Structure 1
Amino acid sequence: MARVFGRNIGLWTAGLVGLVTIGPVAVFSPSAAALSLAVVGSLAAGTSLAWISTLNARCEKLSKEVDILSQRLLKIEAAPASRPVPVEAGPGDLRSEVHELTVEIGLLSGIVRDLSAVIRSQDDEIAALKARPVTPAALPKPSAPPPSPAVVTPPPISVPPVETAWTPPALSRPVEPLEPVALELPVSPVLRPIPPRPLDPPRGPDDTAILAAFDRDQIEVYLQPVVTLPQRKVVAYEAQARLRVDDQSLEAGQILPALERHGRTTELDRRMLARTGTIVRHLARRGSDARVTYGLSPLSLFELGFLKEIGRMAGDEQGLAGLDIALSQASWRGLDSGQTGLLSALRGRVGFSLDRPTDLRFDARDLADHGIAQVKVPAELLLRPTVARGALTDIAVEDLAPALARARVRLVVTDVNTEADVPDLIDLNVPYAQGAVFAPARPVRGDILASLPPEPTPPPPQDDPGPERRSFRSLLRRAG
Structure 2
Amino acid sequence: MQRLGTLFIAFCMVMISGSLGALLYLVAGVPAAISGLAALTLLLGLAWWQFSALQTADRAHLGRQIGDLSSTVTDVARALADISRRVSDVDHRLQAIERRGTSIEAAAGEAARKAIHPLSAELVVLTGLVKDLAEATATHEQSLAVFEHNLQALAARPQVVMTPAAPAGAAAAAPEAEDVALAAPPAPVVRHGMLAGLSEADGLALAHRAVKAGRVEIYLQPIVTLPQRKVRYYEAMPRLRAEDGSLLTPDDYGDLARGGRLEPEIDLQVLLRCVQVVRRLASRNREIGLFLDLAADTLGDAEAMARYAEFLEANRALGPALVFQLAQEQFRLLGPVETEALAGVVDRGFKLALHRIQDLRFDARDLAERGVRFVKVPAVGLLDRSRAVGAEIHPADLGDLFSRHGIALVGDAIETEGQVVDLLDYDVKFGQGNLFAPPKPVRADVLGAERRPMRETVEAAPVPAPRVEIAAADVRREETRREDARRDEPAPRRTGGLADLAKTTIRRA
TM-score normalised by the chain length of structure 2: 0.47
**What is the alpha-carbon distance in structure 2 between the residues aligned to residue 396 and residue 204 of structure 1?**
38
Cα displacement (A) at 1:385: 4.5
Q: Name the counterpart of 1:352.
A: 352
Q: Name the counterpart of 2:413.
A: 415
Does structure 1 residue 294 correspond to structure 2 residue 284?
no
**One-letter code of the match for 2:383?**
L
**What is the alpha-carbon distance in structure 1 between the residues aligned to residue 370 and residue 363 of structure 2?**
11
Secondary structure, in 3 states, of the residue corresponding to 2:417? coil
Alignment CA distance shift 1:415-1:340 (3 Å): same
**One-letter code of the match for 2:362?**
F
Alignment CA distance shift 1:424-1:392 (3 Å): farther
**One-letter code of the match for 1:222?**
Y
**What is the alpha-carbon distance in structure 1 between the residues aligned to residue 468 and residue 211 of structure 2?**
18
Q: Name the counterpart of 1:244.
A: 241
State which drifts further: 432-441 or 293-302.
293-302
Deviations 1:144-167 (A, max 9, x none): xxxxxxxxxxxxxxxxxxxxxxxx
Deviations 1:370-409 (A, max 9, x none): 011111111121111435xx75422222111011011110
**How do 1:220-369 residues align onto structure 2 when only pairs under 5 Å count?**
220-245=217-242, 246-321=244-319, 322-347=321-346, 348-369=348-369
Q: Name the counterpart of 1:455.
A: 467
**What is the alpha-carbon distance in structure 2 between the residues aligned to residue 274 and residue 438 of structure 1?**
26
Secondary structure, in 3 states, of the residue corresponding to 1:287? coil
**What is the alpha-carbon distance in structure 1 between the residues aligned to residue 402 and residue 193 of structure 2?**
43
Deviations 1:160-194 (A, max 9, x none): xxxxxxxxxxxxxxxxxxxxxxxxxxxxxxxxxxx
Contact kept? 1:284, 1:319, Cα under 8 Å: no
Identity among equivalent positions (%) equals: 33
Contact kept? 1:280, 1:319, Cα under 8 Å: no
Secondary structure, in 3 states, of the residue corresponding to 1:353? strand
Q: Name the counterpart of 1:406.
A: 404
**How do 1:65-464 residues align onto structure 2 when only pairs under 5 Å count?**
204-205=194-195, 206=198, 207=203, 208-245=205-242, 246-321=244-319, 322-347=321-346, 348-386=348-386, 391-450=389-448, 455-456=467-468
**One-letter code of the match for 1:324?**
V
| Runs ≥4 residues deviating over 4 A | 200-203
Contact kept? 1:327, 1:353, Cα under 8 Å: yes
Cα displacement (A) at 1:416: 0.7
Secondary structure, in 3 states, of the residue corresponding to 1:402? helix
Deviations 1:391-446 (A, max 9, x none): 54222221110110111101111111122211111121211110000111110011
Secondary structure, in 3 states, of the residue corresponding to 2:264? helix
**What is the alpha-carbon distance in structure 2 between the residues aligned to residue 248 and residue 399 of structure 1?**
43
Q: Which runs of 5+ in 1 are unaligned?
A: 1-199, 459-480
Q: Which runs of 5+ in 2 are unaligned?
A: 1-189, 451-465, 471-509
Q: With CA pairs under 8 Å and 6+ residues apart, which has the higher RCO, 1 or 2?
A: 2
**What is the alpha-carbon distance in structure 2 between the residues aligned to residue 349 and residue 213 of structure 1?**
32
Cα displacement (A) at 1:250: 2.0
**One-letter code of the match for 1:228?**
T
**What is the alpha-carbon distance in structure 2 between the residues aligned to residue 211 and residue 310 of structure 1?**
20
The root-mean-square deviation of aligned C-alpha atoms, in Å, is: 2.7
Secondary structure, in 3 states, of the residue corresponding to 2:208? helix
Cα displacement (A) at 1:447: 1.8
**One-letter code of the match for 1:238?**
E
State which drifts further: 302-311 or 376-385.
302-311
Contact kept? 1:361, 1:393, Cα under 8 Å: yes
TM-score normalised by the chain length of structure 1: 0.50
**What is the alpha-carbon distance in structure 2 between the residues aligned to residue 359 and residue 369 of structure 1?**
20
Alignment CA distance shift 1:449-1:242 (3 Å): same
**What is the alpha-carbon distance in structure 1 between the residues aligned to residue 206 and residue 256 of structure 2?**
10
Cα displacement (A) at 1:451: 6.2
Cα displacement (A) at 1:230: 1.1
**What is the alpha-carbon distance in structure 2 between the residues aligned to residue 203 and residue 226 of structure 1?**
26
**One-letter code of the match for 2:468?**
P
**One-letter code of the match for 1:403?**
L
Contact kept? 1:238, 1:294, Cα under 8 Å: yes
Alignment CA distance shift 1:419-1:356 (3 Å): same
Secondary structure, in 3 states, of the residue corresponding to 2:444? coil
**What is the alpha-carbon distance in structure 1 between the residues aligned to residue 409 and residue 350 of structure 2?**
18
Alignment CA distance shift 1:333-1:204 (3 Å): closer
Cα displacement (A) at 1:340: 2.1
> How many corresponding residue pairs?
258
Contact kept? 2:292, 2:323, Cα under 8 Å: yes
